[in-house]
Amino acid sequence: MPELPEVEVTRRSFEGRIAGARIVGASLGKPLRWPLGCSVESLAGRRVLGVDRRGKYLLLRLDQGLLVLHLGMSGSLSFAPALPAGGPHDHFDLLTDAGQLRLHDPRRFGAVVWAPDDHAPVLDKLLGRLGMEPLADDFSLAAFKAGLKASRASIKRLLLAGRLVVGVGNIYASEALFLARIRPTTQARRIGPARAERLHAAIRSVLEQAVTAGGSTLRDFQAADGRSDVYGREGAPCHTCSTPIAMVRQGQRSSFFCPVCQRP
């Protein structure tokens, strides 16, 4: 599944090229998770102002309304001067005078939804409960600490829920918790100020490294030095203390940690 770094890399790959373009036409393939919310014909003539991101949603801002795109489990976006004829897994094409944007999604869990403005009910339904943006300048340490203290959940579950901070998927949560020296099963409210500050910084660092590396998948994640610290390394020696990396199941997710370096 594309995570926040992959979505941010995608945004950066075409935002500068599509900004200012005028929409010539659009077409839909097989139905996606939610209806578009407008006719494809009504998009023609509108101008693309820019591309923002909120969590794992891309916001294609138009001079009238905006298009919200989600890549689902297996989706990807392509932008080129011209693309070949669409196949059975190509579900949305936006033709502009600067190029063609296409959503390819074999599993069809992705979405393209139009909203008339930032206050539309459909936008509130999709984005209204998302937490802080970890790569934004306003990723508040004070609000992060307050969110930890208010939660009875384990820190790993809290991070994955996305209500406190968005985009910290399974691999990134495991790596950030290792850098902060916090065990994933630790109750969030038991994390003191010093460890909370380390975790806040680690989340930003791990995600920034992933964006710089061009994004990661569950199979190829590595840190900036070319290796993962804990993710997927059960039984292998910790890079810091040589203790075998442990794994515990939390819900349906595997959490990897060093029993020595990461305290409960």
| Per-residue pLDDT tens over the stretch 171-212 | 999 999 999 999 999 999 999 999 999 999 999 999 999 999
> Any residues with CB less than 8 A from the CB of 120 and at least 6 apart, and which?
none
pLDDT value of residue 64: 96
Average pLDDT over residues 68-76: 93
Catalytic residues: 2-3, 56, 253
What is the pLDDT confidence band of residue 213, given thresholds at 50, 70 and 90?
confident
Instruction: Note the CATH number of domain 141-257.
Output: 1.10.8.50
* Chain center to CA of 27: 26
**Could you tell me which CATH number the domain at 4-127 has?**
3.20.190.10
Give me the residues paired with residue 48 across strands: 62
> Please, where are the H alpha helices in 19-120?
none
pLDDT digits (tens, 9 = 90+) for 24-66: 999 999 989 999 999 999 999 999 999 999 999 999 999 999 9
Q: What is the pLDDT of residue 216?
A: 61
Strand residues in the chain grouped as ranges (E): 23-28, 48-54, 57-62, 66-70, 76-80, 90-96, 99-104, 111-115, 246-250, 253-257
pTM value? Answer: 0.90
Domain definitions of the chain by residue range: 4-127, 141-257
CA distance 101 to 190: 46
CA distance 170 to 155: 12
